[in-house]
Amino acid sequence: MFTMVNQVTGQGIELVFSNDTIWGYQTEDVIEFKASVKNNNSSDVSITLTKVHLNIPQKSNSAFCFGEGCYDSQVFTSDPNTVSANSTTHGSYLKGQYFPNWVIDTAEIEYLIVDQTHADTLRQKVVFITSFDPNTGLNDFKEKVDQHLILLNQSIQFYNESIDPVDIEVLDFTGASLSHHVVEPSSTLLQSFEDQPSGIYLISVTSNNLQFVKRYYHNR
């Protein structure tokens, strides 16, 4: 799962870090690494971290934690942190986070630790590689539909959390189509049944060649 890399050492600071290639599945909410910083100087140092997106796929993103602060995807440079002389920080002092957002691709992110005290910079490039999750498929799709398809007495509600459009078709029990909607990502569909007679209806949900049909009983 992990690839060892030679230590990258600056003039007086060292990143205690063993992996420069990190694998994960496109379905994971976040893929991350952790590292500590070692100060080999005989005096305290003031350091900051800057992340640089060398190559990052569309729809994916990154964030990081450094020292006492955590920073969202819109922040690229940390506040200054002080590391005591001849000491090593805890193991998650630097935490790099990558959010694949269902994208199968490779992201390259460079982390620059700047020693403000000695005007020195430590560089580390990390490669995040996402691959297909063998556990995804129809069962995963059904689970997501169940989470976001809310069946009420007089209506149904569906929220599309994926990055792809979702087709929602309502059929009566004979299979006749009553309505068809395309729900865009991060959008919600509200389908009323107030004008429909009591009975069993079929809710067909389709996305990326996966289809799940759920029965809905409407009682006026």
| Whole-structure pTM value | 0.60
Regarding whether 126 and 147 lie in a shared domain, the answer is: no
Q: What is the pLDDT of residue 138?
A: 64
Mean pLDDT by 10 residues, the chain (220 residues): 38 83 88 93 94 93 94 94 94 93 91 91 93 71 79 85 87 83 90 86 83 80
Query: What is the domain count for the chain?
Result: 2
What is residue 88's predicted lDDT score, i.e. its pLDDT?
Answer: 95
Residues 63 and 37 in one domain: yes
The pLDDT tens digits of the residues spanning 192-206 come to 888 888 888 888 888
What is the structure's pLDDT at 113? Answer: 94
> What is the tens place of the pLDDT at every residue in 141-161?
777 777 788 888 788 888 888
CATH number of the domain where residue 39 is located: 2.60.40.3880
Domain of 199 in residue numbering reads as 138-218
Same domain for 152 and 108: no
Asked whether residue 61 falls in the same domain as residue 123, the answer is yes
Q: What is the CATH number of the domain that holds 212?
A: 2.60.40.3080
**Strands 120-131, 19-25: parallel, antiparallel or unpaired by DSSP?**
parallel
